[in-house]
A and B are shown apart, each in its own frame.
Chain A
Amino acid sequence: MSSKSIEIRWHGRGGQGAKTAALLLADVCFKTGAYVQGFPEYGPERMGAPITAFNRISDKEIRVHSNIYNPDLVIVVDESLLASVDVTAGLKTEGAIIVNTDKTADEVRQFLNGYEGRVYTVDARTISVEALGKYFPNSPMLAAAVAVSSVMDKESFIKEMRASYEHKFAKKPEVIDGNMKALTMTFDALEDQLSAASER
């Protein structure tokens, strides 16, 4: 795809919200005027089964309707998938991978089949539990996707996400602030990793 297009692949387990995160990313990028695609690929229909979801974000109309085999960015919502799924398959070397784990990027790299591109880690469990009181990894992973891919700037992302959550959680307003907190905590947590990568 062209330089102003990005392709993202999400790996998660059924019920964790990887599909929802992909759809939310499409939603929030749409608001910046981009052409977007967000779609899931289902395996067996059951909780806990590995699922994949995809995003295409582009400044041009998107016509392709296939899965993504050479992504610019891979997001692993469930660390346990590293043992069973080749998450870096086809991932561009100049791209990046984000893994939800309490380990460091260097510790995780050994599980990535020799991937030589950028590796980021986000401890979505700690962030989510602190911000929301429960473990919902998709808000932190969504923020991480935006922080690493720069599909939009942090300020407009935060602004649009508040509007999205106010719509999505109209009947549960008590969870809006927690989700917003999870987003900003993730940006803060990634700050050092991102500046280290840009210095490299």
Chain B
Amino acid sequence: MSKKDRMSGNEAVAYAIRQVNPDVMPAFPITPSTEIPQMVSSYIANGEMDTEFIPVESEHSSMSATVGAEAAGARSMTATSSCGLAFMWEELLVAASNRLPLVLALVNRTLSGPININCDHSDSMGARDTGWIQIYAENNQEAYDNFIQAFPIAEDSRVHLPVMVCQDGFITSHAVENILLEEDADVKEFVGEYHPEEFLLNPGKPVAVGPYAISAYSMEAKYNQEQAMIRSKEVIREVAAKFKEKFGRGFELFEQYRTEDADYIMLIIGSAAGTAKTAVDELRDNGMKAGVLKLRVFRPFPAEEIAEALKNCKAVAIMDRCESYNGHGGPLASEVTAALYMNRAEVEAVSYVYGLAGRDFTVETACGIFKELSEAAEGKKFAQHRYVGLRTRKGQ
């Protein structure tokens, strides 16, 4: 039976960690994810779980220790944000290329500089090509549900890749909201026992983890890694289907909110999707056919599926909560427009950068973007790489 409760996104993830009870969790604190290892430590101290918690001196070490523990054969995870993720950089690639199914609870926060503690997606988006699966949450419920699904996805023999479970710093991590929690036994049953096929502490079947590979083998290893990422798409769908069967809440690679007949679609990730949905309801009441495509899984990138979902609309706003500094759009805009082109879906597309370093994203802002989309579809010419919510000097 699901239990109605209320808690913050960080509390929800810590609660899920207690239920999963992984073997090892090394961690180093950083705002706004600090509460996660803090709460897990309390659960352990109170005897409510028996995870081996390793306090380390940096994120470079927390990811190294997570990699080591996972390679040894232990179900392992850690949590971090922002510069903490940046400091894990080398190990992120080591984890993925060694095909270690560990899990990272990421609480999204901007990267320096200017130094700032608030939300944007520059940390996880910066790590988009490290070979990790990335799943994003709109609210505390999805942070909880995604986290529970992460282990069965990562550990599936067709995948063997690490999973980054992302939620928006402060906006969901520190917001108390209603949530449905599942029974400990049901979560444990869903996640299952971890039985790695190959691991270091297995004298019967010795393996090497992370050896040098000469050029005759390296390229094949990378190809295999990409194939695993491609296969993970169906595994993510299967795990979501099982989750729905057991707990009643369904998930896809992305959610389509009132898009079936939509002329204008906003493609967006994370907590701002809820705000965008509210804008869509208002606009629909006033006769505009608006919709939201909320991307849940960014890696693997569902390119064909997105092109299919967008092909009949008049215009799409692609919303990036981070900057690529490439002069023509954020990472999401680059990938979505490439997906549209490769799948021959000719749709007017506008790239928007919003919400950097905690800049608020409101229903009004979303409504303004839909209005611009309708103008773009009618042929009005304006820059297709735009910022919203930017302060300007008076008189400009």
Which residues of A pack against B, CB within 8 Å? 23, 26-27, 30, 35-42, 45, 61-67, 69
Other A-B pairs, 4, CB within 8 Å; known A30-B6, A41-B170, A65-B274: A35-B178, A63-B275, A64-B363, A65-B139
**Interface presence of B183 (CB below 8 A):** no
Q: Max chain B CB contacts within 10 Å: which of A36, A39, A40?
A: A39
Q: Please, could you name 7 A-B residue pairs with CB atoms under 8 Å apart, sorted by A?
A: A30-B6, A36-B178, A39-B175, A63-B274, A65-B175, A65-B271, A66-B360
Q: Which residues of A contact B171 (CB under 8 A)?
A: 39, 65
CB distance from B260 to the nearest CB of A (A): 19
Tell me, in angstroms, the Cα distance from A40 to B175 when the chains sit together: 7
Q: Once the chains bind, are A39 and B176 in contact (CB under 8 Å)?
A: yes
Q: Which residues of B contact A27 (CB under 8 A)?
A: 6, 176
Q: Which residues of B contact A67 (CB under 8 A)?
A: 360, 362
Q: Max chain B CB contacts within 10 Å: which of A30, A65, A66, A67?
A: A65
With A64-B363, A66-B363 already in contact, the answer to whether A38 and B274 are too (CB < 8 A) is no
Q: Once the chains bind, are A40 and B170 in contact (CB under 8 Å)?
A: yes
Q: Which residues of A contact B175 (CB under 8 A)?
A: 37-39, 65
CB distance from A31 to the nearest CB of B (A): 9
Q: Which residues of B contact A63 (CB under 8 A)?
A: 139, 274-275, 277-278
With A36-B176, A65-B271 already in contact, the answer to whether A42 and B277 are too (CB < 8 A) is no
CB distance from A23 to the nearest CB of B (A): 5
Q: Which 3 A-B pairs have the closest CB atoms?
A: A39-B175, A63-B274, A65-B271
CB distance from A32 to the nearest CB of B (A): 12
Q: Which residues of B contact A30 (CB under 8 A)?
A: 6, 178
Secondary structure call for the B interface: loop
Tell me, in angstroms, the Cα distance from A37 to B118 when the chains sit together: 18
Q: Looking at the complex, which one of A37, A45, A66 makes contact with B177 (CB distance below 8 Å)? A: A37
Tell me, in angstroms, the Cα distance from A40 to B274 when the chains sit together: 18
With A30-B6, A66-B362, A66-B363 already in contact, the answer to whether A23 and B275 are too (CB < 8 A) is no
CB distance from A66 to the nearest CB of B (A): 4
Q: Which residues of B contact A62 (CB under 8 A)?
A: 177-178
CB distance from B280 to the nearest CB of A (A): 10
Q: Once the chains bind, are A23 and B176 in contact (CB under 8 Å)?
A: yes
Tell me, in angstroms, the Cα distance from A62 to B274 when the chains sit together: 8
Q: Which residues of A contact B278 (CB under 8 A)?
A: 63-64
Tell me, in angstroms, the Cα distance from A69 to B139 when the chains sit together: 21
With A65-B274, A69-B362 already in contact, the answer to whether A36 and B177 are too (CB < 8 A) is yes
Q: Once the chains bind, are A65 and B6 in contact (CB under 8 Å)?
A: no
Tell me, in angstroms, the Cα distance from A64 to B271 when the chains sit together: 8
Tell me, in angstroms, the Cα distance from A184 to B177 when the chains sit together: 27
Q: Once the chains bind, are A66 and B178 in contact (CB under 8 Å)?
A: no
Smallest Cβ-Cβ distance to B277: which chain A residue:
A63
Tell me, in angstroms, the Cα distance from A147 to B118 when the chains sit together: 33
Q: Which residues of B contact A39 (CB under 8 A)?
A: 170-171, 174-176
CB distance from A39 to the nearest CB of B (A): 4
Q: Once the chains bind, are A66 and B170 in contact (CB under 8 Å)?
A: no
Q: Once the chains bind, are B176 and A38 in contact (CB under 8 Å)?
A: yes
Q: Once the chains bind, are B174 and A65 in contact (CB under 8 Å)?
A: no
Q: Which residues of B contact A26 (CB under 8 A)?
A: 6, 176-177
Q: Once the chains bind, are B275 and A65 in contact (CB under 8 Å)?
A: yes
Q: Which residues of B contact A66 (CB under 8 A)?
A: 275, 360-363
Tell me, in angstroms, the Cα distance from A23 to B7 when the chains sit together: 9
Q: Which residues of A contact B174 (CB under 8 A)?
A: 39-40
Smallest Cβ-Cβ distance to A1: which chain B residue:
B278
Tell me, in angstroms, the Cα distance from A37 to B277 when the chains sit together: 17
Smallest Cβ-Cβ distance to B179: which chain A residue:
A30
Tell me, in angstroms, the Cα distance from A30 to B178 when the chains sit together: 7
Smallest Cβ-Cβ distance to B279: which chain A residue:
A64
Smallest Cβ-Cβ distance to B118: which chain A residue:
A42
Tell me, in angstroms, the Cα distance from A30 to B179 when the chains sit together: 10
Tell me, in angstroms, the Cα distance from A76 to B278 when the chains sit together: 29
**Interface presence of B172 (CB below 8 A):** yes
Q: Which residues of B contact A36 (CB under 8 A)?
A: 6, 176-178
Tell me, in angstroms, the Cα distance from A23 to B117 when the chains sit together: 20
Tell me, in angstroms, the Cα distance from A69 to B389 when the chains sit together: 14
**Interface presence of B272 (CB below 8 A):** yes
Q: Which residues of B contact A45 (CB under 8 A)?
A: 31, 117
Smallest Cβ-Cβ distance to A35: which chain B residue:
B178
Q: Which residues of A contact B272 (CB under 8 A)?
A: 65
Smallest Cβ-Cβ distance to A65: which chain B residue:
B271
Q: Max chain A CB contacts within 10 Å: which of B118, B176, B178?
A: B176
Interface string of B167-205 (1 = CB under 8 A from A): 010111011111000000000000000000000000000
Q: Which residues of A contact B363 (CB under 8 A)?
A: 64, 66
CB distance from A56 to the nearest CB of B (A): 9
B residues 336-370 touching A (CB-CB < 8 Å): 360-363
Q: Looking at the complex, which one of A23, A42, A64 makes contact with B274 (CB distance below 8 Å)? A: A64
Tell me, in angstroms, the Cα distance from A62 to B168 when the chains sit together: 16
